[in-house]
Structure 1
Amino acid sequence: MKALSTALTLAMLAGLAGCVGQSGSAASAWYDGRDAIPPRGDRIYICHAFGCALKTPVDFAGRDIAALRRILAEGRGSPAAERRAIAKAVQWQERRVGKIVGSDKDVGGLDMQNAGVPGQMDCIDEASNTTSLLLVAEARGLLRHHRVESPVARGFFLDGRYPHATAVVRETASGTAFAVDSWPEANGVEPHIKPLAAWFNDYPS
């Protein structure tokens, strides 16, 4: 049993190692390490079925970009306002792609019985999809107060927590990083946004 636990721990570490401490708007190491696909223009590859096992391309048409622009424009006044707008943008994306991907019934939080089920998402899927959306917004100049960074992870079993990953943005004025975590909630619910330092200290995972 101990050997199995050790093997499982090492497997999870291998899957999540390398996401801690990464930065850079491209977040290329995150995508490369998880068989995910970064956005290409206005096409986003939505990860689902846990661990980005499935990837469904979704093209954001002009009206989608216009909607994203309107949502994020609500946050121009301050970094805090922009974070609220980012939460609304993530909610918008989840609702926008839900019927296409089959993720409209995605269950929030730890839900291992749905591993491998198309449309269901774990934290790797959620962190990848949120990062992809934010990269599209950043590339179009829609973020005024934040830059997009690579997702990060916490929890490695040994500290009593399951591994868990989140998308990250960094406030340009203060340098403070914030978790943008859509995993705890069901599809179409606003993500949890909080200082990354506080997110790392959350327990349980």
Structure 2
Amino acid sequence: MKGLAGGLLLGLLPALAPAATPPPFNICHGYGCRHQTEIRLTAAEWSSVRGLFRRPPVDAAAERSRIAAAVALLESLAGRRSGTSADRACNSAGSWVRGQQDCIDESTNTATYLHLLDDSGLLRWHRSVGRVRRNPWLFDIHWTAVIGERGSGQRYAVDSWYGANGELPLVAPLELWRRKAASVTPACPAPERGGR
């Protein structure tokens, strides 16, 4: 009996071990998710992401910092394959610049990264919630990915649109993000002139 139970446990170990790589995922680009590129991370790349969480964060605030670093790293890794590595902050480069992403692309991709982290068991203090939009005026609609703190239920915007590819995303309480509070909303660079 002891040998059978031990054999069953050994047989389960590979299923319990963390995956060497996450499943393939799609990255949006081209404004409004017009284009998608399938991304397959290597074992070394995924190990670098997992390494950010190797030592468990001591609290939710520390985990939000790690989440920001992981989103920046995943965005950088995906950018090399999707042609978005030159993506600039906000919409400053304009839609005619190849690889530039709008908030729909950015929020969709960031939500994907957050799901990867959550589904892989890397998040202890938060869960991936999806995306939300704000529209303080009819012409100023903006999207972000969202995480929810498991203990308090507090929600946070994780908004990579405010930075260039691979830069740390804005992570701020969702209610402040919705109000475009000056304390959490960075200024965007002036748009470039140009076109097709």
TM-score (norm 1): 0.73
Q: Deviations over 1:175-203 (max 9, x none)?
A: 10000001011111100000001100116
Q: Give the structure 2 partner of residue 70 of structure 1.
A: 51
Q: Give the structure 2 partner of residue 102 of structure 1.
A: 83
**1:187 to 2:168 alignment:** no
TM-score (norm 2): 0.76
Q: Which runs of 5+ in 1 are unaligned?
A: 1-40
Q: Give the structure 2 partner of residue 140 of structure 1.
A: 120
Per the TM alignment, residue 99 of structure 1 is displaced from its structure 2 partner at its CA by: 2.1
Secondary structure of the structure 2 residue equivalent to 1:81: helix
Distance 2:83 2:170 in 1: 22
2:29 to 43, 48, 52: 48
Q: Deviations over 1:7-38 (max 9, x none)?
A: xxxxxxxxxxxxxxxxxxxxxxxxxxxxxxxx
Distance 1:148 1:52 in 2: 20
* AA in 2 matched with 1:83: R
Q: What is the aligned residue count? A: 162
Q: CA RMSD in A?
A: 1.9
Q: Decide whether the 8 Å contact of 1:166 with 1:181 is kept in 2.
A: yes
Q: Decide whether the 8 Å contact of 2:91 with 2:101 is kept in 1.
A: no
Secondary structure of the structure 2 residue equivalent to 1:148: strand
Q: Decide whether the 8 Å contact of 2:32 with 2:104 is kept in 1.
A: yes
Q: Decide whether the 8 Å contact of 1:88 with 1:190 is kept in 2.
A: yes
Q: Give the structure 2 partner of residue 122 of structure 1.
A: 102
Secondary structure of the structure 2 residue equivalent to 1:152: strand
Secondary structure of the structure 2 residue equivalent to 1:133: helix
Per the TM alignment, residue 115 of structure 1 is displaced from its structure 2 partner at its CA by: 2.1
Provide closer, same or farther for how the CA distance between residues 50 and 75 of structure 1 changes in structure 2, counting only shifts above 3 A.
Answer: farther
Q: Deviations over 1:151-185 (max 9, x none)?
A: 00001534xx6110000000001110000001011
Q: Which runs of 5+ in 2 are unaligned?
A: 1-21, 186-196
Q: Give the structure 1 partner of residue 3 of structure 2.
A: none
Per the TM alignment, residue 44 of structure 1 is displaced from its structure 2 partner at its CA by: 1.6
Per the TM alignment, residue 75 of structure 1 is displaced from its structure 2 partner at its CA by: 5.3
Secondary structure of the structure 2 residue equivalent to 1:143: coil
1:79 to 60, 70, 79: 60
Q: Decide whether the 8 Å contact of 2:136 with 2:179 is kept in 1.
A: no
* AA in 1 matched with 2:33: C
Distance 1:82 1:74 in 2: 10
**1:176 to 2:157 alignment:** no
- The range that moved more, 61-70 or 85-94, is 61-70
Secondary structure of the structure 2 residue equivalent to 1:115: coil
Rg bigger for which structure?
Answer: 2
Distance 2:174 2:31 in 1: 23
Q: Deviations over 1:29-76 (max 9, x none)?
A: xxxxxxxxxxxx521201001110000011122222211111133552
* AA in 1 matched with 2:129: E
Identity of aligned residues (%): 36
Q: Give the structure 1 partner of residue 175 of structure 2.
A: 197
Extract structure 1 runs of 4+ deviating beyond 4 A.
none
**1:153 to 2:133 alignment:** yes
Provide closer, same or farther for how the CA distance between residues 128 and 116 of structure 1 changes in structure 2, counting only shifts above 3 A.
Answer: farther
Secondary structure of the structure 1 residue equivalent to 2:148: strand
